[in-house]
Amino acid sequence: RDLPKVRADKGQIETALMNLATNARDAMRDQGGGTLTIRTQAAEQADIPDRETGTKPGDYLLIEVSDTGSGMDAETREKIFEPFFTTKEPGKGTGLGLATVYGIVKQSGGYLFVDSREGEGTTFRIFLPAAEAEVEEVQAMEEQVARTRAPKAPADLAGRGRILLVEDESAVRQIAAKTLTKRGYEVIEAEDGEEALELAEQYSGQIDLMVSDVVMPGLDGPGLLEAAREHLGDARVIFISGYAEEEFSDVLSREQDVRFLPKPFTLPQLAEMVKTVMAGG
């Protein structure tokens, strides 16, 4: 069977797969190596494990991500999708990777399952519902996307300005940078707080907006804001994170020019917030 089309944000699905691959890499590293396998196939409602109730009838796209790593015990399996839960050493992970994957799958209308045994590896299965659009509707959607992605005249671009983008997940950072660049912004990228601080010093007084992840190895988002304050000047700030906004209420209340964008977010949501913030909203 041909693979069905699904309605999902490409960037978010890429982020989910990247997180699963990273998780598999870490699990196999403890074993001295192993094999990562990603499979896709057409599926239907009957293929969804019965431990998930209330599934919708119809066709599905199944994505399997399997590794031959260390595996998990039953207690760990029950907690892996909880925010902040991690089996990694302090400073090696935030515990948000799999919680982010779960959020992306649910937001896409899908279902996520994990099967794992200690010493035997782990398999994650994602079921995404097939799009129900007719062929003509799908073609119309594709044409609309193509028009959206086509180069625009300068007057149609969302804005101008220099943005410092700080995100330790390379796939997320690159996709976000590409999106903002297409909308007319100049984007300088940093993969962690330390690199961002160096760029802030290099472009001192010339940055209009900093978009930064909150939880990063080493210098985190709030720490970066404090360290780079003299170089950022009047620049506005958007923090992005899988943590709840309440976790940073003290920072947001202290800083008048700081906004918060929760993960997972869509690229249009990011672009819209950047446009609003850059316009002084």
User: How does pLDDT run across 134-191, given as a tens digit for each residue?
Assistant: 344 445 545 555 555 544 433 333 578 999 999 987 878 888 899 899 899 999 999 9
Backbone dihedral region for residue 32 (phi beyond 0: left; psi -120 to 50: alpha; all else: beta): left
Side by side, which strands form the sheet with 121-129? 36-44, 59-67, 121-129, 111-117
Is 3.40.50.2300 the CATH classification of the domain at 153-278? yes
Q: How confident is the model at residue 242 (pLDDT cuts 50, 70, 90)?
A: low
User: Looking at the chain, how many residues does it have?
Assistant: 281
> What average pLDDT does range 43-56 have in this prediction?
87
Name the CATH architecture for the domain at 10-129.
2-Layer Sandwich (3.30)
SS3 content of the chain, % helix, strand, coil (to 5): 40, 20, 35
pLDDT bucket at 90, cuts 50 / 70 / 90: very low
- In this prediction the pTM is 0.47
pLDDT for residue 128 is more than 90:
yes
Residue 88 pLDDT > 60? no
3-state secondary structure of 106: helix
Q: Which amino acid is at 86?
A: T
Q: How far is CA 6 from CA 63, 105, 128, 158, 194, in A?
A: 12, 12, 7, 28, 39
pLDDT band of residue 254 (cuts 50, 70, 90) is: low
Q: What average pLDDT does range 219-229 have in this prediction? A: 89
What is the rounded CA–CA span in Å between residue 93 and residue 90?
7
Rounded CA-CA distance 20/24 in Å is: 6
Both structure tokens of 150: 């086509």
φ, ψ of residue 218 in degrees (nearest 5) = 75, -120
Q: How far apart are CA 261 and CA 270, in angstroms?
A: 8
**pLDDT at residue number 42:** 95
Domain map of the chain by residue range? Answer: 10-129, 153-278
pLDDT given at position 96: 46
Q: Using CB atoms within 10 Å of the CB of residue 74, give its burial: 0 to 12 exposed, 13 to 18 middle, 19+ buried.
A: exposed
Q: Tell me what pLDDT residue 279 has.
A: 84
